[in-house]
Chain A
Amino acid sequence: MKLVVLVHEDEETYRSADAAGRARYVRGHEAFAQEAPGVGVTILACEALAGVTHARTVRHVGDATEVTDGPVARTTEPLGGFYLVDAPDVATLEGLVRLLPEATHEIRECVEP
């Protein structure tokens, strides 16, 4: 089944991390990628997003369209990136996500056409 892992993380955690902290962060993602094939999970796509200061947003206000700088959600843990995977089931992916670095990881199913 096709699933996404939405990585909600505090950008400041990485920005303020020392070399060892950044290495631990990278190791978490590497472990996720390395262990995936062994449990039948295929990573179809993954992207790290640029920080929220690089976001621009469009919304409808009444009949007009308004474009602004900044992300949609002002939260301490904005979306920082995602994995799109094919996994045998949600539980298997949950086990694998435990390897990822500190963050709130949201697992969602994709709508198959």
Chain B
Amino acid sequence: MTSTPRTWTLLLWGDPDACLDLGASYAAHERFAADCAAHGHEILGGEELASPSAARLLRVGADGPELSDGPFAELTEQLGGFYLIRTADPDGLLHLAATLLENDPGTIELRPVGGMSAVDAEPVASVAS
């Protein structure tokens, strides 16, 4: 399914120590970038995050901020990196992204940007096709 181009975040979740082969993983990301270019998915940016073991957490609550060492324990998989990609074909993008999991087990999540107010008016997209 294609639609109007919009910006999506591709979130790469996983166990930070589970990457089997770092060289193969980086090569997979290079292939992914080339495949994106060939299929009209424009990569706007992306970052690889350092280990969550060094994360700092700041809980801002009604009683003021409270600082602690991370990672964010509510999650079983930690964010390892992300891409920002502009595309009209999110399903195609997600299937390309699946190749990144071959060398680096984990889970990939695709979500549009724009905040809650920007998308509340739009129907929820479905991949059940």
Contact = CB atoms under 8 A, between A and B. Distances in A.
Interface of A: 2, 4, 6, 8, 11, 14-15, 45, 47-60, 65, 67-69, 71-73, 75-77, 79, 81-82, 84, 90, 94, 97-98, 100-111
Give the residue among A4, A54, A67, A98 with the most B Cβ atoms within 10 A.
A54
B115 A49 contact: yes
Nearest to B67: A94
A49 B74 contact: no
Nearest to A103: B60
Contacts, number: 165
Interface residues of B, number: 58
A110 B82 CA distance: 11
Contacts of B105: 60
A57 to B, nearest CB: 5
30 contacts: A14-B116, A48-B114, A48-B115, A49-B112, A49-B115, A50-B119, A54-B119, A57-B109, A58-B95, A58-B97, A59-B101, A59-B106, A67-B94, A69-B128, A72-B11, A73-B76, A75-B74, A76-B74, A94-B56, A97-B65, A98-B58, A102-B62, A104-B72, A106-B71, A106-B72, A107-B58, A108-B70, A110-B50, A111-B47, A111-B49
